[in-house]
Chain A
Amino acid sequence: MRTGKVKAIVSNLVIVTADGAVAQNEICHILLGEIFLKAEVIKTAGDDAYVQVFESTRGLKVGDEVIFQGHLLEVSLGPGILTKKYDGLQNDLDKIESIFLSRGTYTDALDMNSEWDFIPLVKNGDMVVAASWLGEVKEKNIPHKIMAPFILDGEFSVKKIADAGRYKLTDTIATLEDKQGNETAITMVQKWPVIKTLKGYKEKIRPYKLLETGIRIIDMMNPMAEGGTGFIPGPFGSGKTVLQHAIARQAKVDVVVVVACGERANEIVEIFTEFPQLDDPQTGGKLIDRTVIIANTSNMPVASRQASVYTGMTIAEYYRAMGLKVLVLADSTSRWAQALREISNRMEELPGPDAYPMDLPAVVSGFYARAGQVKLVNGKDGSITFIGTVSPAGGNLKEPVTEATKKAAHSFYALSQRRADSKRYPAIDAIESYSKFLDYPELVSYMHQTIAQNWKTEVVKMKDRLFKGHEAMEQISILGDDNVPVDYHETFWKSELIDFVILQQDAFDSVDGFTSLERLKYMQQKISEICEASFHFSAYEEVGVYFRSIINAWKQINYSAFQSEEFKNFNRQLDEIVNERKQTNGNVTV
């Protein structure tokens, strides 16, 4: 056992004199009376190991004993992770009975005594490699694969696989043998260090499928692909969290990992409280059944904030290796960057921009790169889609974390303070935002098959209309209402129509909150029909009044279930209003 003694303490950075070799990022325990505090080696200099402590160091003294653990920060992987609420170090919070999280309390991530109905997927004598599926248990609504250990190197033969039946988590369900005849006993649990990518796949492939979220401004205008990455920067109060929760509820995926990284506890409580009540339309279970929550709230120790995003990503990689579609939502990656800054500062490293560590962009892009669509060793698909929020200081998108993330992510959903102030939610700025997937031919052809043949053309047109409307509005406010042609007002109001009925969406309304692809297709056609038409106005005052009535009628449609009687009635009313002023003379055809 390698030990050491505390030599110096500044807040959560402790210098330990070690009596033997230590590894970078090795975990150690610092004894403090009856309890121990978990810490991680982040730098060594001679015999001195600099460790960041995952807990408050109050009361720690020089000379206190330290025991090095011989491993990096690991997570336990096995059936039973779904529905769990973990802290950043994968402690199961439900197993902590007390109101307060007192220091030195660590709990098992998995329920070690739980039993599972195991079905073997290999036979004795089969050859397997790391991440091969050996068997399967049913975890909630998911076929949870029991996989060959990810650390295996090379081919192994299955010496013995357990028969179908009920086994404890820690029972041996398989014995593997390497070419030299060394045997490895396999249980349903394995461990993995969080800072290393858990591969478990053969190759990465380009994303090609739409990740449906039911949020119109995303699905229609700036689509997210399965296996893609995106980020949502926005000043406070612009609706980042509401948007992320809506995505967590609605996204069509198998597993959702929600990482609350240095955020408000009440936001996690909202998920605890609501997800067990909400149905998962895909499986018929409850939403909580497909969800894992990593709750590192803002008042928890800073060092475990960094651990929380890695813990979440590693769990996602584990489920991806089962051939599942996993979505990871991290709110907010800025807090993680700030944790890096705090510790870098205490280590007296030379600072980069805004006192962040110099390697911030590398750390961020290394993390985003862990997402992706993959082909597994057995040829099946799996994906991790990652969406992070960024909380730019002062709402300034030129700050280091936003810039670093912009380089790493595929799509960008900029939340605008101006839209939020006028309660235009979701406050995603449709002109500023982009999705690189719009240029992926794979995804575009997928959209053409699933939504409509002219989908992309229409999206581009719609973006142009918004842009033209914005320009018209600027002209109007410079020159005055009556000093511009009436056309300008029409152009402006057409963009307002798109804004009010398509971009804006009531996340709290059961109907409007989720828009299916079918409905999206209907809306796309309808909006194009109105925007292509020209209308007859004799004075500019008429334009606003008229379009307000169109918006009003369409909003009623948005609140009605698709193709219901109510829906059809409002749709008829809308058509009547549109036909009132539509110019039918000339060659305008619809």
Chain B
Amino acid sequence: MKENKQMETLPFKKIYTRVIQITKATCTLEATGVGCEEMALVDGKSAQVIKINGRQVTLQVFEGTEGIKTDAEVVFLGKAPSLKVSDEMGGRFFNAYGVPIDGKYTPHGKEVEIGGPSINPVRRKQPFDLIETGIAGIDLNNTLLAGQKIPFFADTDQPYNAVIALVALRSNADRIILGGIGLSNDDYLYFKNLFVNTDMPEKIVGFINTTEDPTVERLLIPDMALSAAEYFAIEKNEKALVLLTDMTLYCDALSIVANRMDQIPSKDSMPGSLYSDLAKIYEKSVQLHSGGSITIISVTTISEGDITHAIPDNTGYITEGQLFLRRDTEIGKVIIDPFRSLSRLKQLVIGKQTREDHPQVMNAAIRLYADAANAKTKLENGFDLSDYDKRTLKFAKEYAQQLLAIDINVDITKMLNTTWNLFRRNFKPEELGIKSKYIEQYWEKATEMEDEHSLMDENMNPANTSFKQRNKTEVKWQ
């Protein structure tokens, strides 16, 4: 199917038939008039120009060079990788080349080169549009905004794909664009069924590379997804949410290519350009003055929580915060770790669009949770606990159960009330270090809220989700 489509352009192109060198991923031939980063077909396999030296042109063959003969037919396509963008993409799934994989017709549209230029910083607007997810570990402690870029750092055994799907469905995005990078086929089907069975399946666009597809093809997925997002955000003024999972597999593919090109590896066998490569992707997130936006929520799987590895490390320097998933053994649930998680943009909205006590309440709670962690260490080392230690431990358990667990679904005001309630139950006002005017305002009221237990989401399984149900908050524009 793919070959057929691209064959159409053949009659106008010169065919080369002498390949002078073939390696595992590249082949070299003599040709003239070839442009840097130009796409080509080598015996029908997609390839891209990565190096030109005089008449010698080196091509990276995405699918690998298995079976390529020295007299293979090579055709240059005269363009960089591109995607046809239009509203017809809605509800559709594509491969790394933008070819449909759902058995339906190829959408029409304007052809754009992927991986295009960066956005002029002065044409950006400061992010302002709060994305409510109902998850307190996000909304209360690490508030997200449209136009933000943020990864989930998760060990491979954690339910990260379910969590990002949940966040996407609960958000008020106009368009959700899934970039599946080395997804297992099972996970691809999970996302597909989940999204197709919502009440607005046309909100979803997928670009999928599964583990069954060639590894190097993965490198095209983020740029494809983001070119689609740019179309919706810039041309259509939509709020586009891009999910990229798993970026660690993207980086692995980068290191394979770098290795085959004889580059000197830097830390953790990653190419020295890893930072720039990742930044080119993540910096596509933007809030535009026209109202359109691109938000990127990605997954970076890590090994046993090690964030000093080059992949999470470089990612953390680029993204606007990170969300850590961790299993809390006290409550037996996955929580969003308040210590290591961070949303850099939260300061723009908390206490301004949310209730004024939000920043102080959030920080006090996390400080007390940190005290509890110290108390726990003491306990493990066999020391007696002080009364304060015991109270922090009790607080920490309730805090994890009622707020940090990812199966929570309440609004931010309720999260704040719940926190005050936990403060009142366990501490004295002077132990909080909160501005006295907030103590005066909220301390006395805290017990009244006692019976309002936070609503557990009966249905953590996002499969039974409709957008209408989830979008409790109205879309706020201007």
Q: Are B38 and A548 neighbours in the complex by a CB distance under 8 Å?
A: no
CB nearest to B234 among chain A residues: A99
In residues 333-385 of chain A, which contact B (Cβ within 8 Å)? 335, 338-339, 341-342, 345, 351, 354-355
Q: Are B383 and A480 neighbours in the complex by a CB distance under 8 Å?
A: yes
Q: Are A268 and B121 neighbours in the complex by a CB distance under 8 Å?
A: yes
Once bound together, how far apart are the Cα atoms of A484 and B264, in whole Å? 54
Contact string against A for B residues 122-145, beta-carbon threshold 8 Å, 1 for contact and 0 otherwise:
111111000000000000000000
Question: Given known contacts A299-B279, A391-B317, is B119 in contact with A269 (CB within 8 Å)?
Answer: no
Once bound together, how far apart are the Cα atoms of A551 and B320, in whole Å? 32
Give min CB distance, A508 to chain B, whole Å: 6
B54 located at the interface, meaning its Cβ lies under 8 Å from any Cβ of chain A in the complex? yes
A583 located at the interface, meaning its Cβ lies under 8 Å from any Cβ of chain B in the complex? no
Q: Which of B50, B120, B126, B272 contacts A266 (CB 8 A)?
A: B126
A237 located at the interface, meaning its Cβ lies under 8 Å from any Cβ of chain B in the complex? yes
Question: Given known contacts A93-B122, A99-B119, A355-B272, is B288 in contact with A423 (CB within 8 Å)?
Answer: no
Contact string against B for A residues 510-544, beta-carbon threshold 8 Å, 1 for contact and 0 otherwise:
00000000000000000000000000000011001
Give min CB distance, A201 to chain B, whole Å: 33
A559 located at the interface, meaning its Cβ lies under 8 Å from any Cβ of chain B in the complex? yes
Residues on B with C-beta less than 8 A from A297 are 118, 121, 283
Q: Are B320 and A298 neighbours in the complex by a CB distance under 8 Å?
A: no
Q: Which of B32, B307, B310, B387 contacts A541 (CB 8 A)?
A: B387
Q: Are A94 and B272 neighbours in the complex by a CB distance under 8 Å?
A: no
Once bound together, how far apart are the Cα atoms of A125 and B149, in whole Å? 61
CB nearest to B265 among chain A residues: A355
Residues on B with C-beta less than 8 A from A264 are 283, 318, 320
Once bound together, how far apart are the Cα atoms of A100 and B283, in whole Å? 12
Contact string against B for A residues 292-329, beta-carbon threshold 8 Å, 1 for contact and 0 otherwise:
00010111101000000000000000000000000000
In residues 39-71 of chain A, which contact B (Cβ within 8 Å)? 56-63
Residues on B with C-beta less than 8 A from A272 are 121-122, 126
| Most chain A C-beta atoms within 10 Å of own C-beta, residue among B120, B147, B148, B322 | B120
Residues on B with C-beta less than 8 A from A335 are 275
Q: Are A8 and B34 neighbours in the complex by a CB distance under 8 Å?
A: no
Give min CB distance, A538 to chain B, whole Å: 14
CB nearest to A17 among chain B residues: B54
Residues on A with C-beta less than 8 A from B377 are 477
Question: Given known contacts A264-B318, A421-B339, A552-B433, is B386 in contact with A394 (CB within 8 Å)?
Answer: no
A96 located at the interface, meaning its Cβ lies under 8 Å from any Cβ of chain B in the complex? yes
Q: Are A96 and B120 neighbours in the complex by a CB distance under 8 Å?
A: yes
Q: Are A266 and B320 neighbours in the complex by a CB distance under 8 Å?
A: yes
| Most chain B C-beta atoms within 10 Å of own C-beta, residue among A7, A99, A297 | A99
Residues on B with C-beta less than 8 A from A60 are 35-36
A590 located at the interface, meaning its Cβ lies under 8 Å from any Cβ of chain B in the complex? no
Once bound together, how far apart are the Cα atoms of A101 and B275, in whole Å? 20
Q: Are B36 and A9 neighbours in the complex by a CB distance under 8 Å?
A: yes
Q: Are B266 and A341 neighbours in the complex by a CB distance under 8 Å?
A: yes
B305 located at the interface, meaning its Cβ lies under 8 Å from any Cβ of chain A in the complex? no
A545 located at the interface, meaning its Cβ lies under 8 Å from any Cβ of chain B in the complex? yes
Residues on A with C-beta less than 8 A from B387 are 541
In residues 307-338 of chain B, which contact A (Cβ within 8 Å)? 307-310, 313-314, 316-318, 320-322
Residues on A with C-beta less than 8 A from B280 are 298-299
Q: Are A481 and B384 neighbours in the complex by a CB distance under 8 Å?
A: yes
A236 located at the interface, meaning its Cβ lies under 8 Å from any Cβ of chain B in the complex? yes
Question: Given known contacts A8-B52, A298-B276, A396-B308, is B433 in contact with A265 (CB within 8 Å)?
Answer: no
Interface residues on A, range: 35 or more
A556 located at the interface, meaning its Cβ lies under 8 Å from any Cβ of chain B in the complex? yes
Give min CB distance, B154 to chain A, whole Å: 16
A393 located at the interface, meaning its Cβ lies under 8 Å from any Cβ of chain B in the complex? yes
A103 located at the interface, meaning its Cβ lies under 8 Å from any Cβ of chain B in the complex? yes
The stretch from B177-185, B363-371, B462-470 touching chain A is B363-371
Residues on B with C-beta less than 8 A from A295 are 121
CB nearest to B34 among chain A residues: A61
A482 located at the interface, meaning its Cβ lies under 8 Å from any Cβ of chain B in the complex? yes
Residues on B with C-beta less than 8 A from A544 are 386, 388
CB nearest to A544 among chain B residues: B388
B347 located at the interface, meaning its Cβ lies under 8 Å from any Cβ of chain A in the complex? yes
| Most chain B C-beta atoms within 10 Å of own C-beta, residue among A56, A272, A335, A395 | A56
In residues 232-258 of chain A, which contact B (Cβ within 8 Å)? 235-237, 241
Q: Which of A58, A102, A262 contacts B80 (CB 8 A)?
A: A58
A-B contact count (CB 8 A): 213
In residues 179-232 of chain A, which contact B (Cβ within 8 Å)? none
Once bound together, how far apart are the Cα atoms of A345 and B261, in whole Å? 11
Once bound together, how far apart are the Cα atoms of A562 and B387, in whole Å? 36
Question: Given known contacts A58-B35, A265-B283, is B121 in contact with A99 (CB within 8 Å)?
Answer: no
Q: Are B279 and A9 neighbours in the complex by a CB distance under 8 Å?
A: no
Once bound together, how far apart are the Cα atoms of A507 and B405, in whole Å? 30
Residues on B with C-beta less than 8 A from A266 are 124, 126-127, 147-148, 320, 345
A85 located at the interface, meaning its Cβ lies under 8 Å from any Cβ of chain B in the complex? yes
Q: Are A102 and B386 neighbours in the complex by a CB distance under 8 Å?
A: no
In residues 355-401 of chain B, which contact A (Cβ within 8 Å)? 359, 363, 366-367, 370, 377-378, 381-384, 386-388
Residues on A with C-beta less than 8 A from B381 are 477, 480
Give min CB distance, B318 to chain A, whole Å: 6
Once bound together, how far apart are the Cα atoms of A226 and B53, in whole Å? 51
Contact string against B for A residues 441-482, beta-carbon threshold 8 Å, 1 for contact and 0 otherwise:
000000000000000000000000000000000000100111
Q: Are B264 and A351 neighbours in the complex by a CB distance under 8 Å?
A: yes
In residues 78-98 of chain A, which contact B (Cβ within 8 Å)? 85, 93-94, 96, 98
B445 located at the interface, meaning its Cβ lies under 8 Å from any Cβ of chain A in the complex? no
Q: Are A7 and B36 neighbours in the complex by a CB distance under 8 Å?
A: no
Q: Are B308 and A342 neighbours in the complex by a CB distance under 8 Å?
A: no
Q: Are A265 and B388 neighbours in the complex by a CB distance under 8 Å?
A: no
Once bound together, how far apart are the Cα atoms of A264 and B34, in whole Å? 34
Contact string against A for B residues 432-467, beta-carbon threshold 8 Å, 1 for contact and 0 otherwise:
110110000000000000000000000000000000
Give min CB distance, A165 to chain B, whole Å: 33
Give min CB distance, B157 to chain A, whole Å: 23
Once bound together, how far apart are the Cα atoms of A187 and B322, in whole Å? 51
Q: Are A394 and B384 neighbours in the complex by a CB distance under 8 Å?
A: no
Once bound together, how far apart are the Cα atoms of A500 and B279, in whole Å? 36
Q: Are A422 and B339 neighbours in the complex by a CB distance under 8 Å?
A: yes
Q: Which of B53, B119, B275 contacts A100 (CB 8 A)?
A: B119
Once bound together, how far apart are the Cα atoms of A62 and B56, in whole Å? 10
Residues on A with C-beta less than 8 A from B382 are 480
Residues on B with C-beta less than 8 A from A85 are 121-122
Question: Given known contacts A7-B54, A395-B308, A541-B386, is B121 in contact with A61 (CB within 8 Å)?
Answer: no
Once bound together, how far apart are the Cα atoms of A110 and B370, in whole Å? 52
B472 located at the interface, meaning its Cβ lies under 8 Å from any Cβ of chain A in the complex? no
CB nearest to B369 among chain A residues: A422
Q: Are B316 and A237 neighbours in the complex by a CB distance under 8 Å?
A: yes
Once bound together, how far apart are the Cα atoms of A514 and B322, in whole Å? 29
| Most chain A C-beta atoms within 10 Å of own C-beta, residue among B33, B125, B264, B432 | B264
Q: Are B386 and A481 neighbours in the complex by a CB distance under 8 Å?
A: yes
Q: Are A265 and B119 neighbours in the complex by a CB distance under 8 Å?
A: yes
Q: Which of B51, B123, B310, B367 contacts A99 (CB 8 A)?
A: B123
Give min CB distance, B52 to chain A, whole Å: 5
Once bound together, how far apart are the Cα atoms of A178 and B118, in whole Å? 48
Seed contacts A57-B36, A85-B121, A265-B118; 6 additional CB < 8 Å A-B pairs: A56-B117, A235-B313, A266-B127, A338-B275, A553-B430, A556-B435
15 contacts between A and B (CB under 8 A): A58-B36, A98-B123, A100-B120, A262-B276, A266-B124, A268-B121, A299-B283, A300-B118, A354-B267, A422-B367, A544-B386, A544-B388, A545-B388, A552-B431, A555-B435
Interface residues of A (CB under 8 A from B): 7-10, 15, 56-63, 85, 93-94, 96, 98-103, 235-237, 241, 262, 264-266, 268-270, 272-273, 295, 297-300, 302, 332, 335, 338-339, 341-342, 345, 351, 354-355, 391, 393-396, 421-423, 477, 480-482, 500, 508, 540-541, 544-545, 548-549, 551-553, 555-556, 559
For the complex of A and B, the 7 pairs showing the least CB-CB separation, nearest first, are A394-B308, A298-B279, A299-B283, A236-B316, A480-B383, A8-B53, A59-B35
